[in-house]
Chains A and B, each alone.
Chain A
Amino acid sequence: MTMTAPSAAIDRWRARAARRGAAALVAALILSGLSIADLMTGPSGMSPSEIWHTLLAGPAGEDRAAATILWQLRLPQLVMGLIVGASLGLAGMLMQTILANPLASPFTLGFSAAAGFGAAGAILGASFLVLPVPQWIVTPICAFAATLLATGIIWLVARYKGSGPEILVLAGIAVLFFFQSLQSLLQFMASPEVLQQIVFWLFGSLLKANWVSVQVSGAILVACLPFIARDLWALTALRLGEANAASLGLDVQALRRRSFLITALLTAGAVSFTGTIGFVGLIAPHLARSVVGEDHRLGLPVAALAGAVILIAASVVGKLLSQGAAIPVGIITAVAGIPMLMAVIARHKES
């Protein structure tokens, strides 16, 4: 070994850290570009300069039509897409790390089925009862509550049977089928008009977004961030295996329980307003790891960026494909997600 070897190893290590930082910046740039494209697309086309002026004029701008389109429709939909994509990307990364399973996603433990049941119940209930609050507030509240109920069930199982990946996944599958069956029952009981509303909710779509949903989902995301930040190194250590993490003085079971609670909150915050948006939380972590590796200091932020990139890209494509009525993003991500999932499986088999 020559005397220069150690410093060469340090230089290579630094160079790689710099490359990964640059990759994260590129991801942020791509997201900015897509966000601008998203603002520019829609049934009533607006030119870039028109958008610029309307943005500067603020929500109370003189051109009422343009201000309404931009400030009440396109902007809240864009911001909601960013929040939902980031939440699902983070939740997916956490899930894949704590379950040590590359095919885990925020929906693995049945949270989306629970949210769907809650929303279906709210829509069906509203067709019988006259509620003092508008439907668009009741549905997300019920979806959120049902997700918390599912979380509670899994939490109890984990409390008494241990928080190993097998236990969590088995409990999650049970919860998934339980809420899916209940949701089917509600759909069966619903009249054709109500059924149509339920099905429309289940297609995750950003069209349901408004500034209230942005504030609620955004607040949940921001509230979760400090708790995620505390565990960055613990999560990275878990990538080396449970035995290794435990022997570094980590309480792996407690880490799993914490992280799955955060996943539940992020997922509930994301899907309660928009409906189920599949594959984002499954694919984004893989994109992130392939670009910046398994160090969660960069991996989690880039998973959030990747989730937002996928969702905003799906939103732009949905609006371009169908000029009149945008195709819901949930359908686009599901269709585009299958080949992406195949790529993930193929890549995994090689290693």
Chain B
Amino acid sequence: MLDIHLPDLRRGSTPILGACCLRLGAGEILGVIGPNGTGKSTLLSAIAGLGTARVAVLAGGKPLGRSEIGFLPQAYAVRSALSVLDCVILGRREALGLRIPAGLVVEAVALLEAMGLSALADRSMQDLSGGQQQRVLIAQRLFRRPRLLLLDEPTSALDLHHQLEVMAQLRLHAGAEAMPMIAALHDLTLAARLCDRIAVLSAGRFIRIGRPAEILTSPMLREHWQVEPEILSTALNLPVIVPHRLAAMAPGTPAG
């Protein structure tokens, strides 16, 4: 059980995120969804301890240190000649001395293998595509084995095949290491498939939190995303959201 207590977050005098408490079960994956600019990235970096706010992350009542919380920021271009394997090994930088323990290398190679990345092990990070870099950086965070993993748009650069592969790995590690995760996501269908619960963030406040099927409803999408969706129910019992057209504005609502 993991509890996160966030105070009010402000940038200057502008409030950007309201105070809130989140409770995550062991190995639970929580999706955070919401329109652009509602504070998803701010929330994650605050929990990661990178902001100025005092955020308490408690595991069984005991606070977690910054190095026990893993954080994958939004995808950015890595310009480094370090190899993929070196990059993953760096995930456990605290365990590295003048020599790299041999067991660590074996473990890192096994993880690359499991994530379908072993063919890239020798390649330079800067020579990889954006999607490949994103998968390597996810592997690095998984290799780190944090007590809580925060992922900001972990599948933004990935094709369908690798979206599924990464989701399967996240699910596997969340379960095997009882590691809760919080993922900010834009793709709602993907969020429904990956997450145990979904929290909706709108204008810096959590509106609702619950099972994907309870959350991803037409009224919710109409109100907060201003789209008229078609929500298909599939044989997998997962909602598939097809954005259909922009929602008609209620009279008196300012456009934009």
Contacts and interface: CB of A to CB of B under 8 A. Distances in A.
A247 interface: yes
Contacts of A295: 82, 86
Interface in A129-184: none
Interface of A is mostly: helix
Interface stretch (A7-15, A55-63, A187-195, A334-342): A7-15
A272 to B, nearest CB: 31
B80 interface: yes
Interface stretch (A29-37, A46-54, A231-239): A231-239
Interface string A214-247: 0000000000000000001110110111011011
A249 B67 contact: yes
A64 interface: no
A16 B98 CA distance: 16
B113 A240 contact: no
Interface string A261-299: 000000000000000000000000000010001110100
A6 B110 contact: yes
B117 to A, nearest CB: 10
Given A1-B113, A9-B85, A9-B112, A237 B90 contact: yes
B239 interface: no
Contact of A247 (B83, B87, B122, B141): B141
Contact of A297 (B72, B78, B94, B98): B98
Contacts of A6: 106, 109-110, 113, 118
B84 to A, nearest CB: 10
A334 to B, nearest CB: 28
Interface in B43-96: 48, 50, 65-67, 70-73, 76, 78-83, 85-87, 90-91, 93-94, 96
B133 to A, nearest CB: 10
A240 B125 CA distance: 9
A248 B131 CA distance: 20
Interface residues of B, number: 40
Interface residues of A, number: 29
Contact of A294 (B76, B82, B98, B106): B82
A27 to B, nearest CB: 18
Interface in A293-349: 293-295, 297
Question: By CB atoms of chain A within 10 A, which of B50, B65, B121 has the most?
Answer: B121
A241 B85 contact: no
A236 B96 CA distance: 11
Contacts of B137: 244
A249 B66 contact: yes
A234 B65 CA distance: 18
Contact of A248 (B93, B112, B126): B93
A44 interface: no
A333 to B, nearest CB: 26
Nearest to B127: A351
Nearest to B48: A247
Given A13-B85, A293-B82, A294-B81, A241 B76 contact: yes
Nearest to B121: A9
A5 interface: yes
Contacts of B242: none
B40 interface: no
Interface of A: 1, 5-6, 9-10, 12-13, 16, 232-234, 236-237, 239-241, 243-244, 246-250, 289, 293-295, 297, 351
Task: In the A-B complex, list the 10 residue pairs whose CB atoms are closest, starting with the nearest.
Answer: A249-B67, A247-B71, A243-B73, A9-B121, A239-B80, A6-B109, A233-B93, A9-B109, A294-B82, A233-B96
